[in-house]
């Protein structure tokens, strides 16, 4: 049985996601569809990249991953699919698939063959239904990726800038790259769990030690921990760090080694 994941910014108020599933099941009724999330902020390609990178490693290597966060829908941006050792990825060529663009890609195509679309005249506002969902259905049914379009050069794929922290004199300068539904501020800073006691997080008006779990802090207290995704996050025990601190995605965060050096 094949598995297909869906990640969009469509939300669940409207029928967009349900319609895409209808197209997929019409082509491959036996596929198992997993909703990663549909609550990415509208047009937030960076957040979409983050959620995809956090999720896809936990699926079997033959999984099809469909991402539709597509502010350029209807323009000349390419619709693409590529295969790696970790799965097949489908989406707009706008950077949302950044982080999968590396030497593991074994095949990459532009989805330019209308026989695999839902219609040869796709909507200019809903490629998720008319192109991506249809292609995902065919891939889930076993159609080879090379059949779906002409080969493209991997180096030509659109990539977002890497969100890497800057190391300097015992400090790491990072940013908030995502905010989850609990109001936790997820940074791009990574830390070995064995060296937590060596680092502090510096915020305006706050310096936080990095703790092992939420229960090491009092109810309502600010806390910095390493989340399940491996990134340092700032939270409030049973509260929202975003509301408390009024920090947004893209704001800078400093992590400092208390011994004055990066280890």
Q: Contact, 240 vs 234, CB < 8 A?
A: no
Q: What mean pLDDT do residues 73-85 have?
A: 95
Average pLDDT, stretch 180-199? 85
Q: What is the pLDDT of residue 261?
A: 54
Backbone angles phi, psi at 6, to 5 degrees: -120, 135
Identify the DSSP state of 260: S
Greater confidence (99 vs 124) lies with 124
Tokens 């966060």 identify what position?
Answer: 69
pLDDT in tens, 222-262: 999 999 888 999 999 899 999 999 888 888 888 888 765 55
Of the listed ranges 101-105, 153-157, 217-221, 246-250, the one predicted with least confidence: 101-105
Where are the chain's structural domains?
Answer: 3-156, 166-257
| CB proximity list for 183: less than 8 A, separation 6 or greater | 235, 236, 239, 240, 241, 242, 243, 244
User: Which CATH code fits 3-156?
Assistant: 3.40.50.10790
CATH class given for the domain over 166-257: mainly beta
Cα distances (Å, whole numbers) of residue 97 to 5, 6, 244: 14, 13, 32
> pLDDT higher for 108 or 198?
108
- Lowest mean pLDDT, pick from 33-42, 93-102, 139-148: 93-102
Residue 166's pLDDT is what?
79
């Amino acid at each position: 049985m094949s598995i297909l994941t869906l990640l969009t910014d469509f939300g669940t108020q409207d029928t967009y996601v349900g319609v895409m599933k209808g197209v997929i099941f019409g082509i491959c009724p036996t596929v198992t569809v997993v909703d990663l999330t549909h609550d990415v902020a509208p047009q937030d390609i960076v957040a979409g990249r983050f959620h995809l990178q956090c999720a896809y490693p936990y699926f079997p290597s033959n999984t099809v991953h469909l991402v539709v966060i597509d502010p350029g829908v209807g323009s000349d941006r390419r619709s693409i699919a590529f295969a790696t050792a970790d799965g097949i990825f489908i989406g707009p060529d706008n950077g949302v698939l950044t982080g999968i663009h590396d030497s593991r890609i074994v095949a990459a195509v532009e989805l330019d063959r209308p026989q695999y679309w839902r219609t040869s005249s796709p909507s200019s506002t809903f490629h998720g239904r008319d192109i991506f969902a249809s292609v995902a259905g065919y891939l889930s049914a076993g159609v080879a990726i090379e059949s779906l379009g002409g080969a493209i050069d991997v180096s030509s794929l659109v990539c977002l800038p890497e969100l890497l922290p800057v190391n300097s004199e015992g400090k790491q300068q990072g940013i908030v790259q995502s905010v989850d539904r609990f109001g936790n501020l997820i940074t791009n800073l990574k830390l070995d769990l064995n060296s937590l006691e060596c680092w502090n997080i510096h915020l305006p008006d706050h310096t936080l030690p990095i703790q092992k779990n939420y229960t090491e802090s009092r109810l309502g207290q600010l806390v910095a921990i390493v989340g399940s995704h491996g990134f340092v996050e700032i939270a409030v025990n049973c509260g929202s760090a975003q509301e408390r601190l009024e920090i947004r995605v893209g704001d800078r965060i400093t992590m400092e080694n208390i011994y004055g050096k990066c280890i």
